[in-house]
Amino acid sequence: MSHSATLLDLLTQAQASKEITANALLDAASPATIFGRRASTCAGLTWGYYGGTMLVDGALTAIANGTLTLTASQTNYVQATRAGVVSSNTTGYSAGQIPLYTVVTGASSVTSYTDQRAWVEPRHLTSRAAITVTTADVTLSAAEARCRYLTISGTLTGNRAVIVPNDWEGIVFCNNSGAFTTTVKTGSGTGVVVAQAKRASLLADGVNVVRLTADV
- Tell me, what's the pLDDT at 126? 62
> Is 39 in the same domain as 116?
yes
* The last residue of a domain, from among 93, 120, 147: 120
Give the three-state DSSP class for 19.
helix
Question: For the segment 143-198, what is each residue's pLDDT rounded down to a tens digit?
Answer: 788 888 999 999 999 999 999 999 899 999 999 999 999 999 999 999 999 999 99
Question: For the segment 79-124, what is each residue's pLDDT rounded down to a tens digit?
Answer: 998 889 999 999 999 877 889 999 999 999 999 999 998 765 555 4
Phi, psi dihedrals of residue 152, rounded to the nearest 5°: -110, 125
pLDDT band at 3 (very low <50, low <70, confident <90, very high): confident
> Is 98 in the same domain as 63?
yes
CA distance 126 to 173: 14
CA distance 121 to 100: 13
> Is 135 in the same domain as 198?
yes
The DSSP-derived string for 129-198 is EEEE-SSS-EEPPHHHHT-SEEEEEEE-SS-EEEEE-TT-EEEEEEEEESSS-EEEEESSS-EEEPPTTE
* The last residue of a domain, from among 120, 145, 168: 120
Q: Could you tell me the residue range of the domain that residue 140 belongs to? A: 126-211
> What is the pTM assigned to this prediction?
0.66
The DSSP-derived string for 52-96 is EEEEETTEEEEE--EEEEPPTTSEEEEEE-TT--EEEESS-PPTT
Strands, sheet with 191-193, edge to edge from the N-terminal-most edge strand: 138-139, 160-164, 182-186, 191-193
Distances (CA, A) of 57 to 70, 72, 133: 29, 34, 19
> Is 116 in the same domain as 161?
no
Q: Residue 158: CB partners within 8 Å, gap ≥ 6?
A: 135, 180
Element (H, E) at 110: strand 110-115
